[in-house]
A and B are shown apart, each in its own frame.
Chain A
Amino acid sequence: MHIPKDLVAASATPLVLGILSQQDSYGYAIIKQISELSGGQLEWTDGLLYPLLHRLERVGHIESFWQTPEGGRRRKYYRITDQGRTELAEHHRQWTAVVDALKGIWNMTPARLVEG
């Protein structure tokens, strides 16, 4: 199954904020987690995650810091801010509304179309 670009783009911000609300993380781990969460269905172009992270940082939803594990290379981590949590809650409300509306439609649509 191929998920179109628009859908990926629309869900990107809540996914990233949601993952960072669990714990601080870095780009590669975020992409991996998204892939696992979606059972491999949500495929991101890896390089495009970073401009998104930088945008979220610029508007103040997340903050970045560098950390060097012992004997390893330094790595840029991101953590969510209070403003980011507020934004995440807002996204949650919006998506709940969308998902509820979709559920209503799926219930009204004959099963063979949905399964098809």
Chain B
Amino acid sequence: MATDSEYDLERQIGEWRTYMQRRQAVGTDAEELEDHLRSTITDLTEGGLQPDEAFLVAVKRMGSVDDVSREFAREHSGRLWKQLVLAGTPEAQAATNRPDLWTMIGCAAGAAIAIKLPALFGVDFDNDGEFYARNISLFAFVPLAAYFAIRRKLSPLYLGIVALLFAAGAIGANVYQLSQNSQSVILTAIHLPLALWLAAGVAYTGGDWRSDRKRMDFIRFTGEWFVYFVLIALGGGVLTGFTVGTFEAIGLNAEDFVQLWLIPCGAVAAVVVAAWLVEAKQSVIENIAPVLTRVFTPLFTAVLLALLAGIGISSTGIDVQRDVLILFDLLLVVVLGLLLYSISARDPLSPPGLFDKLQLALVVSALAIDVLVLIAITGRIAEWGSTPNKVAALGENVVLLTNLAWSAWLLLGFIRRQLPFAALERWQTRYVVVYAAWAWAVVLVFPPLFNFK
């Protein structure tokens, strides 16, 4: 009968393995767990237990599948990213299984209504564009933060913190009496969205914003959200085109409706819808942002190397215009984005490869170009005087340059196998705080600093 019970045991272990492999967080590590299970069974049967008894004890000692896969999920959140929802307590599980469609619809509808509320007080897009420029990120991201707060069942403490951050944003946008054409208005319009996006990130992480893994998840989310939002915007463009065109064909003018209702309400609602799509469709579609990164990293590297060669060959030097600093800020943002989104999709344990070297080349060439630009520009800055725009552009350059310089160092260490890849990952997730601090500084500190110019 020994063969029978052995056969039985193999079947049981096989079933257990299939069950484990189905847990996305465990995935390829099932083999290691199986080895452990077999070792336990061997020891127990040598101690006198029957194989089937030994199997039961071994499975019990392994711990409940939920507990184990939850711990795996904490460590390997990248694997889970396609599915995201952690199987937590039964309660949380029920909550994540329940369709959160209604939460999304509620928040999106709230956003669409909120953006039209100022119209009741006589504020409209045509005459008060500046009001909307300052506040658009509040209209867009408050519903988003609310959506996350509901989905993550945010604790009162973090609910308060997120609310406070948004209140600070509202103050920064509206309390300072900035004149309509001042540089500070534009700076606020650019930096407040970043500050509030990161504030919504606190809600996204469910309050666990210190965790490097959660931050990386938020970075992944940001990339996917952006892709979905652009797709929705493209669809929206087609929709508006058809609306205007077809109504014109029957002699009705729909332009007012489109401009005053369809576009603004649709845009703020799309912010929430895109967020919902990212979470709901995770298991269906492969992450897009890392794919785009793979495509564009070689191309950008080639362009930057060509640019460096061009600077070397032409003796004219860099033509230092006033806006050139902003252009190179944007270049650094793109390079940082390429780096960040390939990090977000990388298996930290796989050895350094060609792509990592390519990335180092990209970062180093961007740094070299930026340093050349900075050298060329330093003399001119004093001469231009310190306007809010100049200081902001220069500050951004420094923030990005610091990140990329240290990233290049860590990447080099990784390629030479002296540092783990996790060091680079950790540097990026920790650095998010610097962006937040800088964005808030520009929104809240710059206007008084520059006498509301």
**CB closest chain-B residue, reference A55:** B75
Known contacts A45-B67, A54-B29, A60-B420; A73 and B62 CB within 8 A of each other: no
Cross-interface CB contact of A46 among B62, B72, B420, cutoff 8 Å: B62
Set A50, A55, A58: member contacting B32, Cβ < 8 A: A50
Q: Can you list 28 A-B pairs with a CB-CB distance of less than 8 A? A: A26-B35, A27-B36, A28-B36, A28-B40, A31-B36, A45-B61, A45-B63, A46-B36, A46-B40, A47-B63, A47-B67, A48-B63, A48-B68, A48-B71, A50-B29, A50-B32, A50-B33, A50-B68, A51-B76, A52-B75, A54-B76, A55-B75, A57-B349, A58-B75, A58-B420, A58-B422, A60-B422, A76-B32
Q: Which of B35, B38, B348 contacts A58 (CB 8 A)?
A: B348
- B28-61 CB contact bits vs A (8 Å, 1 = yes)? 0101110110111000000000000000000001
Interface size on A, residues (CB 8 A): 20
Asked if A59 is an interface residue, CB under 8 A from chain B, the answer is yes
Instruction: Decide if the interface of chain A is mainly helix, strand, loop or mixed.
Output: helix
Within the complex, which residue of B62, B420, B423 is in contact with A47, where a contact is CB–CB below 8 Å? B62
Contact with A along B404-429 (1 / 0, CB 8 A): 00000000000000011011000000
B74 within 8 A of A: yes
Interface residues of B (CB under 8 A from A): 29, 31-33, 35-36, 38-40, 61-63, 67-68, 71-72, 74-76, 348-349, 419-420, 422-423
Closest B residue to A26 by CB, please name it: B35
Which A residues are within 8 Å of any B CB, using their own CB?
26-28, 31, 45-48, 50-52, 54-55, 57-60, 73, 75-76
| Bound form: Cα–Cα A107–B2 in Å | 58
A15 to B76, CA, bound (A): 22
Contact A27 B68 (CB under 8 A): no
A48-B67, A48-B71, A76-B35 known; A60 vs B419 contact (CB < 8 Å): yes
The 5 closest A-B pairs by CB, nearest first: A60-B420, A47-B68, A45-B63, A28-B39, A47-B63
In the bound assembly, the distance between CA atoms of A52 and B31 in angstroms comes to 16
Cα A36 to Cα B348 in complex, Å, equals 33
Known A-B contacts A27-B36, A59-B422; A54 and B63 likewise in contact (beta carbons under 8 Å): no
| B71 A47 Cβ-Cβ under 8 A | yes
Of the candidates B35, B75, B76, B420, which one forms a contact with A75 in the assembled complex, judged by CB atoms under 8 Å apart?
Answer: B35
Q: Chain A residues near B71: list those with CB within 8 A.
A: 47-48, 51
- Additional A-B contacts beyond A47-B68, A48-B63, A73-B38 (7; CB < 8 A): A28-B40, A31-B36, A45-B62, A50-B32, A51-B71, A58-B75, A60-B423
* A55 CA to B422 CA, complexed, in Å: 10
CA distance A46 to B57 in the complex (A): 12
A55–B419 Cα gap in the complex (Å)?
Answer: 15
B35 partner residues in chain A, CB cutoff 8 A = 26-28, 73, 75-76
**Residues of A contacting B422 in the complex (Cβ-Cβ under 8 angstroms):** 58-60
Chain B residues contacting A27 (CB-CB under 8 Å) are 32, 35-36
In the bound complex, how far is the Cα of B71 from the Cα of A46, in angstroms? 12
The docked-state distance in angstroms from the alpha carbon of A54 to that of B71 is 11
What chain B residues lie within 8 Å of A26 (beta carbons)? 35
B420: chain A residues at CB < 8 Å are 58-60
Closest to B20 in A: A47
Find out whether the CB atom of A51 lies under 8 angstroms from the CB atom of B419.
no
Q: Which residue of A lies closest to B69 (CB)?
A: A47
Contacts of B32 in A (CB 8 A): 27, 50, 76
Query: Contacts of A73 on B, CB cut-off 8 Å?
Result: 35, 38
Q: How far is the CA of A50 from the CA of B20 in the complex (A)?
A: 14
- Residues on the A chain within 8 Å of B67, using CB: 45, 47-48
Q: How far is the CA of A113 from the CA of B68 in the complex (A)?
A: 38
The answer for the CA separation of A58 and B350 in the assembled complex, in Å, is: 10
